[in-house]
Amino acid sequence: MSAARVFSHYQARPLLEYRHTPSVNAQLSPDLGLSKVDVRIEPQGVAFQDGSILDWEMIDEICAARNNCFLLAEGQLHKIILYSEQTGRVYSLMPTASAPTMLISGVPMHRIKDTDPYQDTLEKMRALRPVVGQVLDTATGLGYTAIQASQTAGRVTTIELEQAALEIARLNPWSQGLFDNPMIDQRIGDSAELIRDFEDGSFTCILHDPPAFSLAGQLYSSEFYAQLYRVLTRRGRLFHYIGDPESKSGHNITRGVVRRLQEVGFHKVKVQPRAFGVTSSK
């Protein structure tokens, strides 16, 4: 049985220079840039050491898709894209030069302009630090914030509404730390509902990185913010990702978020422009 491998045009395009010079050795990343393996350039395509082949037709297909990642498994190439019957939305994995992002109905879930999803995650961590104790991550997505938080926190509880999002994460090499880390507790459901199951003062830090307001307005409501306040420990801290505070829509949403956080009791509410969000304390 051949191993599953994931590629994008970033990994496939450099192979084209070898197309007319077969029988040479090269290196290729089988996991979206995380590592490299030795391969052999053959007339039919690129051969891995286990005998599996990424043929030139597959390489052409990958190179032509700027916004998609592909899974090579059992000799078949599959675009990483899923339709959710639950929400009626399309979920897919979009490559960048670093960690990929997830598209939900074409909307990227991370910042990709002048940055990348990995650096975007680090900015959120810097805004909230120190990320210690019991941490709540309200929207798992690809799991980057949960994985990063688990490096310093005592335990991370992360919630994801959409099973399709987790299926995309399972296929993403950059998300594997979400599934094999005993310090991460995964919950499936709506954060607006599951938040009520936690006891008062359960969490030292909360990472609230919801989908866009248009996709999940309930996660921007006063009722939800009151629950976030309740489950935080005294002096606990919240980071709330919003979007570009300098854009017209981002400015309006940020203003409303700050007002509602203050109304339910949060103080030291501060806009964090580099992280595209706000921090606040209980």
Lowest mean pLDDT, pick from 203-207, 244-248, 275-279: 244-248
Instruction: Provide CB contacts within 8 A for 17, sequence distance 6+.
Output: none
* CATH number, domain 111-281: 3.40.50.150
Lowest mean pLDDT, pick from 29-33, 55-59, 139-143, 242-246: 242-246
The phi, psi pair for 55, rounded to 5°, reads -80, 170
Query: At residue 215, does pLDDT exceed 80?
Result: no
Q: Which residues does residue 188 pair with via DSSP β-bridges, in sequence order?
A: 160
For the segment 181-213, what is each residue's pLDDT rounded down to a tens digit?
999 999 999 999 999 999 999 999 999 999 888
Residue with more model confidence, 146 or 107: 146
pLDDT of residue 133: 97
pLDDT of residue 1: 41
Are the C-beta atoms of 139 and 159 separated by less than 8 Å? yes
Instruction: Provide CB contacts within 8 A for 255, sequence distance 6+.
Output: none
Of the chain, the end-to-end C-alpha distance in Å amounts to 53
Are the C-beta atoms of 171 and 165 separated by less than 8 Å? no
- pLDDT band (50, 70, 90) for residue 32: very high
Query: At residue 246, does pLDDT exceed 80?
Result: no
Instruction: Provide CB contacts within 8 A for 67, sequence distance 6+.
Output: 92, 94, 95, 103
CB atoms within 10 A of CB 220: 18
Are the C-beta atoms of 267 and 241 separated by less than 8 Å? no
Parse the chain into domains and list their residue ranges: 5-79, 111-281
Overall pTM surpassing 0.75 (yes/no): yes
Residue with more model confidence, 181 or 2: 181
What distance in Å separates the CA atoms of residue 52 and residue 13, rounded to the nearest whole number? 19
What distance in Å separates the CA atoms of residue 165 and residue 185, rounded to the nearest whole number? 16
User: Considering the chain, what percentage of its residues have pLDDT values greater than 90?
Assistant: 85
